[in-house]
């Protein structure tokens, strides 16, 4: 399989998984596949059970982690939803070889930033996009930045842009967002698309 592209979004309030699923289906060219939805207590899959789409909110309100995975013809895609102390973490992920291609990866990033601006701008606090990432949200954004790995794009990361940050990332204005784009990575943002 390919490297997994992960888009981590921290939101203030609930977002309908249907909105995120629409984005995924648009990016996978509507190639629907077999879907599995699980609810579990933790990332060790304790008390994991398979649930139906209409049960997601009920289990989420009971503080369960929700994992939606869809097998498609060229890989798998999904959404993980987890309640945190200070918000809700949505991880949209793609495990498809097409994103090994830099042009496809850039297109996905740009399409998601447009989606973020149009559909989630009033709700999201922070977003991180990358491949094979380590992302564990805490209320301390400096600590989050230092402990995260594989992040190519940060959106609205509220940290002081000191020299050590700016050695790794370049600041770009993208619509209403402040984006930090990883240096030495050939990622092109289409800032005119907003």
pLDDT tens digits for range 10-28? 998 888 888 888 888 888 7
Judged on CB neighbours under 10 Å (0-12, 13-18, 19+), 177 is: middle
| The two structure tokens encoding residue 106 | 């850039």
Provide the whole-model pTM: 0.90
| The two structure tokens encoding residue 186 | 């050939």
- The secondary element (H helix, E strand) that includes residue 124 is strand 124-134
pLDDT digits 0-9 by tens, 93-116: 999 888 898 999 999 999 999 888
Kindly indicate the confidence band of residue 30, based on its pLDDT and cuts at 50, 70 and 90: low
Q: What is the mean pLDDT of the chain?
A: 86
Q: Distance between CA 50 and CA 30 in Å, rounded? A: 24
pLDDT digits 0-9 by tens, 55-92: 999 999 999 999 999 888 788 899 999 998 888 999 99
Residue 50 pLDDT:
95
């Amino acid at each position: 399989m390919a490297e997994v592209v992960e888009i981590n979004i921290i939101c203030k309030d609930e977002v309908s998984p249907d909105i995120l699923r629409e984005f995924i289906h648009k990016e996978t060219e509507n190639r629907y596949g077999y879907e599995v939805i699980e609810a579990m207590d933790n990332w060790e899959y304790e008390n994991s059970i398979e649930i139906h789409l209409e049960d997601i909110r009920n289990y989420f309100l009971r503080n369960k982690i929700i994992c939606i995975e869809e097998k498609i013809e060229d890989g798998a895609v999904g959404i993980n939803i987890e309640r945190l102390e200070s918000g809700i973490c949505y991880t949209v992920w793609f495990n498809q070889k097409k994103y090994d291609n830099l042009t496809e990866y850039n297109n996905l990033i740009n399409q998601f930033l447009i989606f973020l601006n149009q559909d989630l701008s009033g709700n999201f606090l922070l977003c991180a996009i990358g491949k094979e990432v380590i992302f564990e949200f805490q209320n301390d954004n400096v600590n989050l930045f230092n402990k995260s790995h594989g992040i190519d794009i940060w959106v609205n990361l509220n940290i002081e842009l000191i020299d050590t940050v700016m050695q790794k990332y370049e600041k770009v204005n993208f619509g209403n967002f402040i984006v930090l784009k990883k240096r030495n990575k050939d990622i092109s943002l289409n800032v005119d698309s907003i």
